[in-house]
């Protein structure tokens, strides 16, 4: 797989070519290629997650001085969630460069979306280590922050969790809380079932490939159950 093609496509130039390759290496690939000299991308993903959040937070803070913390928090959540990062990764052609096991390569849908979002984070972790904060900042501004005007225009930053919290506080003066009810599957492909509670009362459950996704699904279901989605 020629990662120089990806570098040209993204307008990047890595000093350490291996760290770029590692960013696209899924855990499953190592299971079938035990002699592969690099590690999988999960540590880079951990670092990249923090880098992305800091850069997005910094831009929002500086660019919207008149906005309250609540709005900025919601906008950030809409920019750094898995769905958005998957969309950006797909648009940049990441699918063509993923190093996966044969089984994972055949998978699509949510499993592939989850891998793409994680790879986007891993790439930013690799960029940070290879060339520092500035290159990451420019990349995020070009490929992720450009989506903010549409998010604001459509109001899509008001996710189900935010809506359910607003309605619950207004109608019953309770802040919802979320608890993981069940986890299934291997570490790299977990499924979470999360319950949303008002006090001790379980209102609804939601399922997802991340806790965030499961919480959002639970909140959406709770809005429908309570007829607060009108």
Task: List domains and CATH numbers for the chain.
Answer: 3-154 (1.10.1520.10), 160-225 (3.30.160.20)
The active-site residue, picked from 49, 104, 159, 215, is: 49
Structure tokens at 200: 């001790």
188 pLDDT higher than 80: no
Question: Mean pLDDT for the chain?
Answer: 93
96 pLDDT higher than 70: yes
Give yes or no: 183 in active site. no
88 pLDDT higher than 80: yes
201-208 and 177-184 as β-strands: parallel, antiparallel, unpaired?
A: unpaired
Q: What percent of the chain stands above pLDDT 90?
A: 74
List own/partner pairs for 140-143 with CB under 8 A and 24 or more apart: 140/52, 140/55, 140/56, 140/59, 141/55, 141/59, 143/88, 143/92
d(CA 58, CA 113): 27
46 pLDDT higher than 70: yes
d(CA 6, CA 12): 8
Cα atoms found within 13 Å of the Cα of residue 187, Cβ hemisphere only: 4
Q: Identify the band that residue 212 occupies on the pLDDT scale cut at 50, 70 and 90.
A: confident
Mean pLDDT of 13-40: 96
Structure tokens at 96: 């063509």
d(CA 195, CA 178): 6
pLDDT given for residue 70 in this prediction = 78
The active-site residue, picked from 32, 45, 69, 121, is: 121
Residues 226, 200, 76, 116: is their CA dihedral positive or negative? negative
**How do residues 155-174 score in pLDDT, each as one tens digit?**
766 778 888 988 899 999 99
Name the one residue in this structure whose structure tokens are 């986890």: 183
Instruction: Please answer whether residues 23 and 125 qualify as being in contact, where contact means their C-beta atoms are separated by less than 8 angstroms.
Output: yes
Give yes or no: 189 in active site. no
> Which whole-number Å values give the CA distances from 1 to 4, 6, 20, 60, 127, in the listed order?
9, 10, 12, 37, 19
31 closest CA partner among 102, 96, 98: 102
pTM (predicted TM-score): 0.73
DSSP letter at 53 equals: H
Starting at the edge strand that comes first in sequence, how are the strands of the sheet with 201-208 ordered?
177-184, 191-198, 201-208
């Amino acid at each position: 797989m020629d990662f120089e093609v990806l570098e040209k496509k993204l307008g990047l130039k890595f000093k350490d070519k291996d760290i770029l390759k590692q960013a696209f290496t899924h855990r499953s690939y190592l299971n079938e290629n035990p002699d592969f000299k690099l590690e999988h991308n999960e540590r880079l993903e951990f670092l990249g997650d923090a880098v992305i959040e800091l850069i997005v937070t910094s831009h929002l803070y500086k660019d919207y001085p008149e906005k309250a913390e609540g709005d900025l928090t919601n906008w950030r959540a809409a920019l750094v969630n898995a769905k958005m990062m998957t969309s950006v990764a797909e648009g940049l052609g990441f699918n063509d460069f993923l190093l996966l096991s044969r089984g994972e390569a055949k998978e699509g849908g949510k499993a592939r979306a989850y891998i793409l979002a994680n790879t986007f984070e891993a790439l930013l972790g690799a960029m940070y280590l290879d060339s520092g904060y500035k290159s990451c900042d420019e990349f995020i501004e070009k490929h992720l922050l450009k989506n903010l005007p549409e998010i604001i225009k459509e109001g899509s930053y008001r996710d189900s969790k935010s809506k359910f919290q607003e309605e619950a506080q207004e109608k019953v003066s309770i802040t919802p809380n979320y608890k993981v009810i069940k986890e299934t599957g291997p570490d790299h492909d977990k499924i979470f079932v999360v319950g949303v509670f008002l006090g001790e009362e379980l209102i609804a459950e939601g399922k997802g490939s991340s806790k965030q996704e499961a919480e959002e699904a639970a909140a959406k279901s709770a809005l429908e159950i309570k007829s607060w989605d009108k």
